[in-house]
Structure 1
Amino acid sequence: MFKTLKNDIPASIVVFFVALPLCLGIALASGAPLFSGLIAGIIGGIVVASISGSTIGVSGPAAGLAAIVATAIITLGGLDNGGFEKFLVAVVLGGIIQILLGFAKAGIIAYFFPSSVIKGMLTGIGIIIILKQIPYFFGMGNNPTGNFSFLDVKWEGFKLVSDLLNSLNALLSGNISMGATTIGVIGLGILLLWANILSKKAKIFQLIQGPLIAVIIGIFFYIITKGDTLGLIESQLVSVPVPDSFDNFKGQFSFPNFSAIGDKDVWVIAFTIAIVASLETLLCVEATDKLDPNKNVTPTNRELIAQGTGNIISGLIGGLPITQVIVRSSANIQSGGRTKASAIIHGFFLLISVILIPTLLNKIPLSVLAAILFVVGFKLAKPSTFKTMFSLGWKQWLPFMATVLPMAITGDLLLGVGLGLVFGIFVILLKSFQNSHFLHKEGENIADGIIKMTLAEEVTFFNKAAILKELDNLPENSILELDVSKTKYLDNDIIEILEDFAVKAKERCINIKVFSERGKIENPDSFIEFFNLAKK
C-alpha cells in the first residue's frame, strides 16, 4: 500500500473535495443535522475502507437512502422531538443485519445484475451529476451547502427535468451570478487544461491534481473579489459548521436513544436500511470493479460486513447510513487511486478539515466544486458509451436505456436500476425460451495441467457467478481449453469476464486455448474481437 502513496495521496485530495459537498448535501436532503453527513463520510473513509476488500471503492452517506432517512425521522417524531436519536437506533440495527447478511454470504446477489444495467446506472448517475450542478455553477442555487443528493423527486413533477428547465429559463433571463460563473468557468478551464495537456507534460502535474489547484484559485478569487461586483455571497459558498469551543464541537454529536429499541417502526426502518443499503453497495461494487483498470474483484460478503460495521459506528455517534458510493469511487479511479489508502486518507482529510479549517472550507465557491463534478459526470456519461452500447445490439441497448432514462428524468437511482433489471430479465427470458443455457466443465487432466471447459449453446449473465468461480479456481501454470464451438449466444457479460480473465491469466501463467468453429486460437489478445470475428 505504501508503494503507491504517490498515486493515492493526490487521488484522496480529489475524493475529499468531491465528498465534502456530497456529505453536506445528502444530510440536508435527508432532513438530518449537517454534521451527521460529515460523520458518515469520515467513518466511510477510515473505518469501512480499512475493513473492506475493495482497493478503490469509497464509502460515505448514502444518496439512495436520503428519501428513506427523511421519512424515517419524521415517522419517529421529527428532528426536534427526538426522532433523529430514535433513527440512529435503526442505523445501528441495520448495520448488525448487514453483518449477518455478510456471514450468510448474501453478497452473491451482485452477480445477478446484467452489465448493461450497471453501465446504465453509471451513465445515469453521470447525467444526474451534470444536471444537478448547473444551478451551482452559475450561482443560482438557493441551497447554501449545495444539494448534491439525487433525491427530492416528485413523480408528478418529474423533478430533475423541471429543475433543468428552470435553470435554462434563468440562464436565458440573465438571472445568474457573474462572480460564480466566472470562477466556475476558470475552474473548469483549469481542470480541462490539467487533464488534457499539463498532466502529459511533467510528473509534477500528475502529483498535484487539477481539482486542488481549481479549489485554491477559487478561494483566492473569493478573497480578492469580496465586496466587488464579482464577489460571491454566502449561499454560493460551502457551509461547514464552525464550532467555537470544544464543548460546542462535542455538542454536534448525537447518540441513539436505545429506549426505542422495542418500537416496531424502528425495526421496520432498520430492515429497510439494511436491504436498500446492501443492494446499493453491491451495485456500486459491481460498477466500481468494472471501472477498475487493474480488474480487481471485490469480495462482496466482506464488503457487507465492512458496511455493517461502518453503519454501527456511524449510528452510535450520530452519523447517517453508509454505502459504497459510485461518485466518489469513480472520482478515485479517475484521479489515479491505486489502493484503499486513498479512501482512508480522504476520511482523515474530512476529519482534519472539520476540526482545524472549517472557516477556510467555507471560502470554497460551490461553482468550482460544480466544475469538478461536471468533469466526473462527463467521464461517467461519455457519448462513446451510448455508441458502444447501441453497437452491441438491442439486447444490451434496451436494458441500458431503460436504466438511464428513468434516472435522467426523475433522478431516482433505484427506480432506474429496477426498470433496467426488468428489461434485462425480459431479454434473458426471451433468449432462454429459444434455447437452454449452462456452463459445463468437461474434465481435468491433473498430470498435464489441462482443464477442459465447454460452453453450451446459450450462456447468459445468470452464469456469471458459476463462470467466475470456475475461472478463479484454476491453478497457476495450467492450460485452459475453452470450447465455444457449439455456442450460439454468448452474453456480453460473459465476454467481459473472459476479457478480464485473459489479463489475470498472464499473471498466473495460465495458457488459454479457445476452440471454435473457425479453428483454434491460443491466448487471444481480445475476446471481444475474437467473438466478433467468429460471428462473421
Structure 2
Amino acid sequence: MSAILQLNNFEVFLTAVLIAGGLQLIMGLLKAGFVANYIPTNVIKGLLAAIGIILILKQIPHAFGYDKDPQDDFSFIQPDGENTFSVLIKMWEFITPGAVVISIVSLVVLLLWDKTPLKKFKYIPSSLFVVMLGVGLDQFFCNYIPYLCVGTLQMVNLPPIDTSNLAAYFYWPALASLGNYQVWLVGATIAAVASLETLLNIEAVDNLDPLKRESPPNRELVAQGIGNMVAGLFGGIPITSVVVRSSVNIQAGNATKLSAILHGVFMLVSVLMLSQLLNLIPLASLAAILLLTGYKLTKVAVFKEMYRKGLRQFIPFLVTIVAIVFTDLLIGILIGFAVSIFYLLRSNYRNPFKLNTATLHIGEVIKIDLSDEVSFLNKASVKDTLWSIPPGSKVVINATRSSFIDGDVLEVIDDFKTAVAPQRAIQLNIIGLKEKYELSDYVHFVSDDSVQFVNVLDQDVQQNLSPAGILDFLRAGNDRFIRGEHHDKYFPHQVNATSAEQNPIAVIIACIDSRTSPELVFDAGIGDLLIIRIAGNIINPDIVGSVELAVKEIGAKLVIVMGHSNCGAIKAAVDGIHEGNIGHITKKINRVITNSVYTRTSIDTSHANVMQQITWLNARNSVKELLAQSSYLESRYLAREVGVLPAYYDTSSGKVLFDEQPVSRSVA
C-alpha cells in the first residue's frame, strides 16, 4: 500500500512489481539464494514461534466474534490504527455467542480428531471437516436458534466475480514509467523485501518438514521472480512464500509439491466459482484452525529446547519473537538477526584460541592454541591476552590448526614478538604459521644462539631434576596418553635443538612388543628418553653397559624396567619354547618362574592375573640383576642419586604402573 501511495498510480506500481520480479529472477540465476544458509537457526525457530503467537493473538478476537481486526495482517500496528493488544481489550465488548460456540466445538473436534472414527476418512482432513461443521452449525442456529446466528461481519466476505467479463479485472503496467528512478527504487525495495522474506520462510518451512528436505532457494527466487513478473503484467500485487499456509499443509500430512499446486488451483476455482459458498464459512471456524496451528508452532517444548541450548541461542530466539510480535515479520527478523550476530561477534572475541598452562620438565609453559580461523574481530582478544602475560614466562603460540589468520592479528603477534616479549624477558615460540601470513615460525634464542627455548630438555633442567620428579613427569605424560591429550612436540624444531647434544632424563628397558612404544606411552619428545628394547626385558652385560653409559656419561637419573601385559616372551617361556637362540631369553624367564610360587606346568596362560604376576616378577628380577651386575649403578641407587625400578604397562588400558618399593639383591 505504501508503495502505491508513493508512486501515486497503480499502473506505475505494477511496473515496479514487474521490475522486482525481473530482479528476483536475476538473483536466482546468479545463485544469490545461498544467503539462506547463513540465517541462524535460533532466528528461524524464533520466526516460527512468533508466527504461532501472532496467530493465537490475532485469531482470539475472531473466535469470540469480534471481527474488526483486519484478516491476514501480522503487524502489531494495524491499518485501522488499533494494535494487537487493543483489539484483545475491545473484543470483550463485542462477543458473539454463536461464534464462541462454533470456535469451541471446532477446537474440540480438532483436538480429538485422531481419537475418533473420523480419522479413518483420509480424504476429509480435520480442517475441512471443521469448516463444513461450522457452516452447518451456523445454518442450524439461524434456522432454529436465531440468538446464536453468526452475523455477516463474522463470515468470510469474498466479493462476487463476474466470470463473463474477466478482462475487467486485469490491469496493465505503465511501461512508459521505466525511465523513472523512483519506480526502480520501489522495484528494488520490493525485490529485496520479498526475497528476504521468502528465503526466511522456506528455511522455516524446511525446519517444520518431518522429512527434513531442503528447498532449493535459487529455484524459489527464479519461480517467484517469474511469478511477480506475471503479476506485474496482469495487475497483481507482489507474491511471496507464506509460513502459515505451508505449516497447515505440512500438518495436514501433505508431503509433495502437488499439494502446493493443487492448493493454488483450488483457490483460483474457489474465488471464481465458489465465492457465495465460501461466504457461508464463519470466521470462528477458521480461527479455531489457526489457533491450533499457532499452538503447534509455539509449544512450550520449543522454548525449553532453545533454553537448554544456552543463552547464546535462547536470547536471540526470544528477541526475535518479541520483535516480530511488536513490529512485523521483516523488522522483527532483522532485529533478531542483529542480536544473533552480536552473540556471534562476542563469541569470536572470546574464543579465537585456547589458553592453558602446563607444567613440563622445562618448567611452566603458557600455551596458546589459535583456532581454525582468526579474523580481525579477534584482534582485541588476542592482544589483551598476550599483553597480560607475566614477565619471564615461557609462551608457545601454536597456529598449526589455523587455516586463516587475519593480517591485523599477525601484526599484533609480530609486535609481541619484536617488542613486548624482549622487554619483559618472555621466551616465545611461534609455531605453525604459514608462509602466506608473512611471518614464519619463530623460536626464542637467548644470547649468541647458545640457549634456545624449545620443548626439549637442556642440561640445566636435566641436572636439576630428581628421580622422583622425573617419575612424576612420566606419570603425567602417561595420563595425557590415556586421555588422548598429548602435548604438541614441534618435531622439526626438536630435531634441530637436539642435533648437537642430548640430555635425556630416563632410561627405559622395554620389551620388543609392537604395542609398547615408551615415547608414546609417556607422551615424551625427542631426546627425553633413552630406550633399550629387548624381548622379555632380560638383562645381559651389553644392556648393563648401555645403562651405565646413559647414567654416567649422558646424565639420565631414572632407570625403568617396563614389562607389559600379554607378553609374547613370557608366554614362550611358560610354553617351554627353548629352540635356537630364543632359549637365551626364555631360560632366564624360566628361572624367575622356578623361584616363584608357580611351576611352569601349572600356569594357565589364558589367566590374565597369573600372567600379570609373572611379568611383574620378571621385571623385578631384571632390576635386581641390573644392580647386581653394576656396582656403579648400585652405588648411585643406594645414594638415591639414581632411581631404578620396575614397571608394568597394561596394553588394554594404556596405564603404566610403577613399583617404588626398595629392591633387594636376591636374584633369580
Q: TM-score normalised by the shorter chain: which range applies?
A: 0.5 to 0.7
Structure 1: distance between partners of 2:271 and 2:247? 24
- The answer to whether residue 4 in structure 2 is matched with residue 86 in structure 1 is no
Shift of 1:458: 7.1
Q: Which residue of the other structure, out of 38, 41, 44, is the alignment partner of 1:112?
A: 38
- The answer to whether residue 101 in structure 2 is matched with residue 182 in structure 1 is yes
For residue 193 of structure 1, what is the aligned residue in structure 2? 112
Shift of 1:165: 3.2
Structure 1: distance between partners of 2:372 and 2:132? 55
- CA deviation map 1:98-131 (0-9, x unaligned): 0111111111111111100110011011101111
Structure 2: distance between partners of 1:225 and 1:315? 44
For residue 157 of structure 2, what is the aligned residue in structure 1? 239
State TM-score, norm by structure 1.
0.63
Q: Which residue of the other structure, out of 196, 215, 218, is the alignment partner of 2:131?
A: 215
State the SS of the aligned residue for 1:141: coil
- The answer to whether residue 193 in structure 2 is matched with residue 276 in structure 1 is yes
1:222-371 equivalent positions in 2, closer than 5 A: 222-226=138-142, 228-247=146-165, 249-371=166-288
For residue 125 of structure 1, what is the aligned residue in structure 2? 51
Structure 1: distance between partners of 2:121 and 2:299? 24
- AA aligned to 1:71 is S
- CA deviation map 1:249-306 (0-9, x unaligned): 4322322222222222211110001001000011111111111111111121111101
- AA aligned to 2:61 is P
Root-mean-square deviation (Å):
2.6
State TM-score, norm by structure 2.
0.51
For residue 87 of structure 2, what is the aligned residue in structure 1? 163
- AA aligned to 1:142 is K
Structure 1: distance between partners of 2:334 and 2:18? 27
- CA deviation map 1:282-333 (0-9, x unaligned): 1111111111111111121111101101111122222221111111111111
State the SS of the aligned residue for 2:135: helix
Structure 2: distance between partners of 1:406 and 1:435? 29
Shift of 1:363: 0.5
Structure with bigger helix share is 1
- AA aligned to 1:214 is V
Any unmatched runs of 5+ in structure 2? 354-369, 375-400, 403-481, 486-668
- AA aligned to 1:193 is L
Structure 2: distance between partners of 1:111 and 1:391? 23
- Decide whether aligned partners of structure 1 residues 517 and 358 sit closer, same or farther in structure 2, where only a CA change above 3 A counts: farther
Q: Which has the higher contact order (CA 8 A, sep 6+)?
A: 1
State the SS of the aligned residue for 2:77: coil
For residue 330 of structure 2, what is the aligned residue in structure 1? 414
1:492-531 equivalent positions in 2, closer than 5 A: none
* Dislocated runs of 4+, deviation >6 Å: 516-519
Shift of 1:346: 0.6
The answer as to whether partners of 1:137 and 1:368 remain within 8 angstroms in 2 is yes
Structure 2: distance between partners of 1:436 and 1:202? 58
Structure 2: distance between partners of 1:233 and 1:154? 23
Structure 2: distance between partners of 1:241 and 1:285? 31
Q: Which residue of the other structure, out of 421, 430, 435, is the alignment partner of 2:351?
A: 435
- CA deviation map 1:120-164 (0-9, x unaligned): 011011101111111111111126xx5222136279x89223333
- CA deviation map 1:53-88 (0-9, x unaligned): xxxxxxxxxxxxxxxxx11111222xxxxx222211
Shift of 1:347: 0.6
Structure 2: distance between partners of 1:518 and 1:287? 40
For residue 74 of structure 1, what is the aligned residue in structure 2? 5
Shift of 1:202: 7.3
State the SS of the aligned residue for 2:344: helix
- Decide whether aligned partners of structure 1 residues 457 and 251 sit closer, same or farther in structure 2, where only a CA change above 3 A counts: same
Structure 2: distance between partners of 1:225 and 1:154? 32
Any unmatched runs of 5+ in structure 1? 1-69, 78-82, 438-455, 461-485, 488-515, 520-536
State the SS of the aligned residue for 1:226: helix
